[in-house]
Amino acid sequence: KTYCSIFASPGVLALWRAMHFVAAPSACLSASISFAISTAHLSRVGALESSASRVVNERSKTWPFCNSLPVIVAAGGAAAVFARCCRPDRRKASRWAGLARCVGGLPVSGASIPFPSNIEAVLFDIDGTLADTDPVHFQTFVDLLQREGVNGGDPIDLAFFQKWISGRQNKLICADLFPQWDEHKVEEWSDMKEATFRERSSSDLKAMGGLDRFMAWMDAQNLKRAAVTNAPRLNAEFILGCIGRGSYFQEVIIGDECEKAKPDPCPYLTAMSRLGVQPENCIVFEDSPSGARAAVAAGIYTIGILSSNPAEKLQKVGCSLLIDNYDSEDLWRCLDAVSEKRSSSFQSA
């Protein structure tokens, strides 16, 4: 039991699984980094101790020496070296790593995920990503929170909005700002807030710059697509309708309808499962730290759109590329490379 709390960390579970499947070097390295971070945060994983114990006990039946931490660390290093030569199946390791993060792990900030050479699906957040909705959300919160006496009755500023509101579920926002409210009050206030947002934005919402061009490229490449959002379904469908994309997406994943919402990776894992794709064949567009954290934790190459949050915040949570809109030259250099590779593959076939 000495190392029970250590094994509760998804980073160690990922390392353990990487050893079992002889994962690719990148998976072993990622798991090792997660291991280092996890050991520095042992106090945060006590709730998973019983689960960790089951992992240890199960492995102990097969490998009695597994209770030795030095042996485990050495084995992890050996697995990474061995994987350098063997190039095994990456999908098992990536699926386990995503699952491990989904059950309570801390994603590694700034993790390096390569741009996929073979894109099969594109996943989008909605607010601030497909449409520039944050100005309307911001003013709606300014008015309603001032009415409730939040911030001493003074209007909230943009920094307050980005810290406590942007990209988060209504119930989490209310839990922080109105801890005294019961569930019924939270639901009632949230419904009123969303209705106010829809009323104010009905004539003002437009698609983000370059979105139509990018989606035309997606159609030409025959890519799968999903919208993944923490917004209520009514809002999600309303926004998609306003920008003329009401029936465009094969899947619309709502955080409130998943086991966990963003920043947990579960909504993105759900989207990939329904589309039948793997993380290494997807890209995600996000505008908030909460959403970007979820996408990175799911193992997906994440592109941050600078519509509502500063670049450093999105970089900190692991966005690999930052763009102002879908006309970004940096984005299209990546897309042109993908198109060229696909064209070459078709010609050689």
Closest CA to 294 of 307, 280, 284, 282: 284
Q: Which two tokens stand for residue 288?
A: 């908030």
Closest CA to 272 of 131, 120, 82, 167: 120
pLDDT given for residue 79 in this prediction: 46
The answer to whether 323 touches 115, Cβ cutoff 8 Å, is: no
The answer to whether 270 touches 109, Cβ cutoff 8 Å, is: no
pLDDT given for residue 268 in this prediction: 98
Interatomic CA distance for residues 173 and 181, integer angstroms = 12
Interatomic CA distance for residues 135 and 145, integer angstroms = 15
Interatomic CA distance for residues 99 and 283, integer angstroms = 18
pLDDT by position in tens, the chain (length 349):
333 333 334 444 344 334 433 333 444 344 334 434 433 433 333 333 333 334 334 434 444 434 444 444 454 554 444 444 444 444 334 433 433 333 333 333 445 799 998 999 999 999 999 999 988 999 999 999 999 999 999 999 999 998 999 889 899 999 999 999 999 999 999 999 999 999 998 877 899 999 999 999 999 999 999 999 999 999 999 999 999 999 999 999 999 999 999 999 999 999 999 999 999 999 999 999 999 999 999 999 999 999 989 999 999 999 999 999 999 999 999 999 999 988 887 666 6
pLDDT given for residue 345 in this prediction: 75
Residues marked active site are found at 125, 127
Interatomic CA distance for residues 322 and 314, integer angstroms = 8
Q: At what angle do helices 90-102 and 266-275 cross, to 10 degrees?
A: 140
The answer to whether 321 touches 303, Cβ cutoff 8 Å, is: yes
| Residue at token pair 């025959």 | 222
pLDDT given for residue 24 in this prediction: 39
Interatomic CA distance for residues 308 and 319, integer angstroms = 14
Q: How many helices (H) and strands (E) does the chain have?
A: 16, 6
pLDDT given for residue 14 in this prediction: 42
Contacts for 89 with CB less than 8 Å, ≥ 6 apart: 21
pLDDT given for residue 131 in this prediction: 95
Omega before 310 within 30 of 0, i.e. cis: no
Threshold 0.85, pTM exceeds = no
pLDDT given for residue 346 in this prediction: 65
- Count of Cβ atoms closer than 10 Å to residue 215 Cβ: 19
**Vertex 200 angle, CA 197 and 206, to 5°:** 95
The alpha carbon dihedral of 48, 68, 35, 269 has a sign of negative
- Residue 63, amino acid: W
